[in-house]
Each structure stands twice: as C-alpha cells, then as structure tokens.
Amino acid sequence: MNTASDAPHRRPDGRLYDGLILGASLATLDCADGYGEIADAALAWRDGRIAWLGPRADLPGAPADLAETVIQAQGWITPGLIDCHTHLVFAGDRAREFELRLKGASYEEIARAGGGIVSSVRATRAADEAELLRQSLPRARALLGDGATSLEIKSGYGLDFDNERKMLRVARQVGDALGVQVRTTYLGAHALPPEYQGRADDYIDAVCEWMPRLHSEGLIDAVDAFCEGIGFSPPQTRRVFETARALGLPVKLHADQLSDLGGGALAAAFDGLSADHVEHTSLDSVKAMAAHGTVAVLLPGAFHVLRETKLPPLDAFREHGVAMAVATDCNPGTSPLLSLRQAMQLSCTHFRLTPEEALRGATVHAARALGLSDAGVLRVGARADFVQWDIGHPSELCYWLGGRLARRVVSAGRVLVDQTDR
C-alpha cells in the first residue's frame, strides 16, 4: 500500500485534504511491472499534490471529515497523460496538402507550389500573439479532453527571433489559460528559412545567438533540433547543443527519422532527455542512449500519416533498457493528431507495444523525457494530476479507437475536464 507516512497538518476548517476521490481502481504505475493496481481505492490531494492514496477501507477517518470535496467514482484512475512531443502552436493548416499527396503530388511539387513547412512558417509569422493563441487553444483543449495534463510545446515555425519568441510566449499562455503544465522547447533549428537559403551555417549562428536572449526571458525549458538530411547536419546540431549546455539547458533531438545520422548517440552524448522518432536508430545509438538515460520517444502519428514501414528498434530498446515514451507529435504537416490516447493505440497497432507499455510511455517515461520528477505516477508527494476513465481495465485505453473515455481530468488538484453528466 502506498500511503503517506505522516499526516499533514489540518486545514483551517479542520480537514486534512482539499479533495478526495473514492471507489475507482487506481493504476498507480508506481512499480517496475504491471499497473500497480489498488482496487476500491481512495486518493486525496492537498495544495496540488497527492497527500494520501490506498484502499478506501484504510482511510484514516470518515470521508466528509477528511476533505472539503468528496467525489464518488467508478472505473479506473490513472496518472494524467503527458504529451512529451508536440508542435501544437502554429497558424493555419495543411489539409489541402494532405489531399494533394493522396492525389499523387510529391513533396517537392508541393514545396515548389509554396506548401510544406514554408507555408506553416508564413502563416505563423503573419499571426500576432492573440491570433496564434486563439488558433492553438482548441488543439490543446482536445488533448486535455482525452486525458493529457502536461504538454510539451515546441517553437520552430517562426525561424527568426521575433517569431520564435512569439511562439514560445504563446506556449506559456496556453498553460496559463488552461491551467495545464506546459514545458517549452526551443526548436529554432527546425528548418532553414527562405531568407537563409544556401547559408545553413549562418542560420545556425543566428539560432545560437537567439538562445540566451530567449532563455533570459524564461521562455526555454529545453532545446531541440532536427538532425536529418533535409534538416541540419550532426556538426550543426552539435553547435546548437553546445550553446544549450553552456546555458544549463537540457536537450532533446528529432533523431534518425528518415536516415541514420547517429542522432540517438548525438543526443546521448549531451545527456539528452530524449531522442524522438528513432525509426532508423542503430544499435550503437541504442547502447549510447541506454548508458546516458536518454528516452526514446515514439511518434506513431507521423509514422501512420506518412505510411512509413521502417520500425524503430523496439526489441533493442527493450533489451538494453531504454525507456520508450509515446507522444502525438501534433503538427500541421505530418501528424495532425489531437489525442494522446489515440497515439497510444497507434503505438500498439504499428509498433506492437503492449497496452501497459503504451500507458507507461504516455506517463512514467514521458515524464522522464521532459525532466519531470513529480509527474507520471500516482504516489504521495507527486502532482495531483490524474484522470478518471470510464473503463473496466486499463487495456481499454488502447483498445478503443476514438470515443470519449475520460470522465474527469484533474491537474494539480484542479478539475480541468468534467464529463460525468454525459
């Protein structure tokens, strides 16, 4: 049983807790294997953190005497889901390109017609902060509605100082507006902007120059880059990471998605939080990631939309103990995915993860991929981030295709989504 060892001081009203939820089964995930089930459980929170959990029969008093708010629940409660890789702040969409690709247009043809990432950069640069926030909030609300309580949001569609800054500011505003935890990632090295064509090294100079200025404003939690033949080379990526390290910022990497450039090993060499995509990651990179604790972030949405066939080295990750996270990669071009639970389902379908692995990937391991030590599990002292699901077993989270299974979504003890009357 996982309960508090010392009872907290009582609130002014004489109660111990701000809230208490009773009756559902808990999947604590606070264990090496399995779901960490506690049947007919109770979970209490105070000041935004879990203060007690265990079997309801072991509660240290009558519920009404213990908490101001008492909720009777059924189904299962899991930790809040953590989407550790998104690009959800952008303007416009690329739905027309999706249609053109299905009609046979190549990426190059679309790009020559002004499409591709350049179109997202153009639209994002044209939108002011208020408009960018207006367009981004519905995407964030969709993720919350299906169980996400923490989000990572990247820049990377601005590609100049003012617009990268604007994107990071809007990402912070998303968290403030919705009451959800947001971690911001500076992805200036996402693509080469039109004004720097043929001058990639000069652009990397600029990306590195902007970084301390943005960091000084409190806008950067981590630094990312797109290390790929159509992105930036390993030496260019290394320069970005060296700048981040000098500022004390952790790094993560779009690694080995289309080819093996040793991205996994490069991220590991900088003690990277994560290497993301990793379809082409080599065994040497897997071993390097294992040695440095770098998480492999699986992005089945992009794999699905692009109809890829090259699987990540899943057995090697398992064999060498590399934690595997799961995320949506929500973006306008290759993964317009607005449900982390659907990403979990796709990871089971395409990558053959078990439902337990997928749930851990969207909680425990996703927290590691963001450097969060107090989220992704249900344990005393962790953030009171949890979801009450209308399910009979946690495997249903990956079984159902679509639908609304989340009854309540709670972040730091605050109910963000309540669908109990539906």
Distance between CA atoms of residues 356 and 359, nearest Å: 5
User: Is 107 assigned a ligand-binding role in the annotation?
Assistant: no
Beta sheet of 67-72, edge-to-edge order:
49-55, 41-46, 17-22, 67-72
* Half-sphere exposure (Cβ direction) of 27: Cα atoms closer than 13 Å: 28
**Structural Rg of the chain based on CA atoms:** 22
Query: How far is CA 280 from each of CA 258, 275, 277, 336, rounded to the nearest angstrom?
Result: 7, 11, 8, 22
The answer to whether 321 is annotated as binding is no
E strands, 284-327, in order:
295-298, 324-326
How far apart (Å, rounded) are the C-alpha atoms in residues 333 and 338?
13
- Say if residue 186 carries a ligand binding annotation: no
2 annotated to bind ligand = no
Is 365 within any annotated ligand binding site?
Answer: no
Q: Determine whether the annotation assigns residue 277 to a binding site.
A: no
Is 334 annotated among the ligand-binding residues? yes
Q: Is 393 annotated as a binding residue?
A: no
Give the span between the Cα atoms of 154 and 360, in whole angstroms: 22
Cβ neighbours, 10 Å, residue 258: 16
Q: Which residues of 122-136 are buried (b: 16+ CB within 10 A; e: fewer)?
A: ebbbebeeeebbebb
In terms of C-beta density within 10 A (0-12 exposed, 13-18 middle, 19 or more buried), how is residue 119 classed? buried
Q: What is the C-alpha separation between 296 and 317, in angstroms, rounded?
A: 8
Q: Is 328 annotated as a binding residue?
A: no
199 is in an annotated binding site: no
236 known ligand binder:
no
Which residues belong to the annotated binding site for 4-imidazolone-5-propanoate? 94, 157, 190, 257, 334
Which residues belong to the annotated binding site for Zn(2+)? 85, 87, 254, 329
Which residues belong to the annotated binding site for Fe(3+)? 85, 87, 254, 329
Which residues belong to the annotated binding site? 85, 87, 94, 157, 190, 254, 257, 329, 331, 333-334
Which residues belong to the annotated binding site for N-formimidoyl-L-glutamate? 157, 331, 333
